[in-house]
Structure 1
Amino acid sequence: MQNNNTAVILDDLQIAQVEALANYLSIEQVAGYFNLSAIDFLDLQKRDERVLRAYRKGKIRGVYKAAMLLWEQMEAGNVTALIFFLKTRGDWREKPIAETEDNAHKFKNIKLICKEFETEKAKERMQATQFKEVDATASALVRSPDNSNTTAETQECSKGKTLEVIAKKAGVSTRTAEQYDAIQRKGTEEQKAEVASGNSSIKKVYTNIRKAERLETNKVTAWPKVFIPIPLGVMVTKEAAEVMARL
């Protein structure tokens, strides 16, 4: 049917076939039925509005039929049909077990690394206190030779890169470690438990905390109501009184 030198034209019977086929087939399949490519069929729809209307009408009729059957299945208590409807029309989704386990694993791993790091730092502070000496000339802190064995990771932490080191050891990004730290400092017990259980990701809970902070900031910076005292003896019109009442 296709002729590269002549524009394709469908007669009334073929247009009726387009509508019938669109009930069940994709646009590529409908085009193939008429020995056309999908691009040629789209061009045909642009040139002949009857073809476009027929295809749309047939497609809608097919969706309607499927939707009615699905609705019947839902009314009959078909759980699979209910889940499908909720996912496609209700923006509902099941959280994969793997995702929950991954969230919980990240949280527990970072928590463990942080605990190890704090233990190491506490040991260092104890050693520093144990072996410190005061230099009479510079009053400088002199550490024991044992501290010369301080690991490169600890030295890096002392330069303000604690979270980077923790993130590296925990196998997560520095951003994730920063968000974990913020949750520990600012999050509620419920939020911490939510992340620890894996039901919410570190990023999601952190985002909720930041939203709450911004909302609180906006409340504080909102314009307060202003009270304008009126001197005694000053006549105030009704209109002026209404304006001041709204302030």
Structure 2
Amino acid sequence: MARPTIMLSPDQVREVETLAALLSQDQIADYFGICRNTFQAICARDPEVDERYKRGKAKAIAHVANGLLQKARSGCTTSAIFYLKTQAGWREANRIEHTGPDGGPVTSVVREIISPAEKLRAMLDKTAERLDAAKPLVGRQ
């Protein structure tokens, strides 16, 4: 047996518009004491409920946006910046450009990884080379 279809009363349908200014669909479902999926299904099958929800949201957004715009016009820098970012596409962008020598492209620097033993061996080889180069001078007078 199928579950009975839940319908909102005409008063509840009108109330959706007022509630939409303050609440999400999930919260409105909680307010009416119905399942969240049920409220979404009601909006999907009843164009009047869906329209009232959208109208209530739009009215609230328009009211807040109007207040924001008035604050921006009166000199509130924060409001003006927020308005321009959200409505005029302003963005804050920190661009750091890297260039190579003489403004050319950046090239990768390849470094050899040398173990401590290899470093020591290289130092000893250099020392030995210096000693070998100095040997002929030792015997001279």
Question: What is the identity percentage for the equivalent residue pairs of Structure 1 and Structure 2?
Answer: 29
What residue number does 2:88 align with?
90
Q: 1:46 — aligned with what?
A: 44
CA distance, structure 2, for counterparts of residue 35 and residue 167 of structure 1: 66
Q: Map Cα deviations across residues 142-170 of structure 1 (whole Å, 9 max, x no partner).
A: xxxxxxxxxxxxxxxxxxxxx5xx1666x
**What is the match of residue 71 of structure 1?**
69
Distance 1:94 1:5, change over 3 A: same
Structure 1 segments unaligned to the other structure (5+ residues): 116-162, 170-247
1:1-247 to 2 correspondences below 5 Å: 5-95=3-93, 99-100=94-95, 103-104=96-97, 107=98, 111=100, 163=107, 166=108
Give per-residue Cα distances to partners, 1:56-89, cap 9 Å, x unaligned. Answer: 1111110111011111101111111111111111
CA shift in 2, pair 1:85/1:47, >3 Å: same
5+ long unaligned stretches in structure 2: 112-141
Q: Which amino acid aligns with 1:82?
A: A
Larger Rg: 2
The alignment partner of 2:67 has SS state of: helix
Post-superposition Cα deviations, 1:75-123, rounded to whole Å, max 9, x if no partner, equal: 111111111111111111112xxx44xx24xx16xx2xx69xxxxxxxx
| Structure 1 vs Structure 2 CA RMSD | 2.4
CA distance in 1, matches of 2:11, 2:24: 20
Change (3 A) 1:44 1:89: same
The separation in 1 between residues aligned to 2:92 and 2:56, in whole angstroms, is 33
Give the deviation of 1:12 after TM superposition.
1.0
SS in 2 for 1:92: coil
**Cα distance in structure 2, aligned partners of 1:167 and 1:56:** 58
What TM-score, normalized to structure 2? Answer: 0.65
Amino acid at match of 2:68: L
Q: CA deviation at 1:15?
A: 1.0
Q: Distance in 2 between matches of 1:57 and 1:5?
A: 30
TM-score normalized by the length of structure 1: 0.39
For residues 12 and 109 of structure 2, the distance between their equivalents in structure 1, rounded to whole angstroms, comes to 64
